[in-house]
Amino acid sequence: MVDQPARYAITLPGPTGSHGPPEVVLVHATGETTGEGLPVYADEAGQLRVEIHDGVAQPVDVQPAEGRHTSWHAQPMP
């Protein structure tokens, strides 16, 4: 298995229809893995939990709402 970074910056879109700026959230490795063996990352509060594969973060605990984009850019952080 390839070593994964300990943390990522996730870029979330602004509120729908507001033309607001995106929000950048830092997530860190939790030590957990998904059923597919991907590491789980979470924000400091533990509210945003994602899996990351090839620079794309996707939520692991939430089913996407219809019409909502749930694939976000993930940038490895030092």
Cα distance between residue 1 and residue 37, in whole Å:
10
Cα distance between residue 25 and residue 76, in whole Å:
12
Whole-prediction pTM value? 0.82
pLDDT in tens, 57-76: 999 977 665 556 678 999 99
What pLDDT is attached to residue 69? Answer: 64
What pLDDT is attached to residue 42? Answer: 97
pLDDT in tens, 3-58: 778 999 999 887 777 778 889 999 999 999 999 999 999 999 999 999 999 999 99
What pLDDT is attached to residue 65? Answer: 58
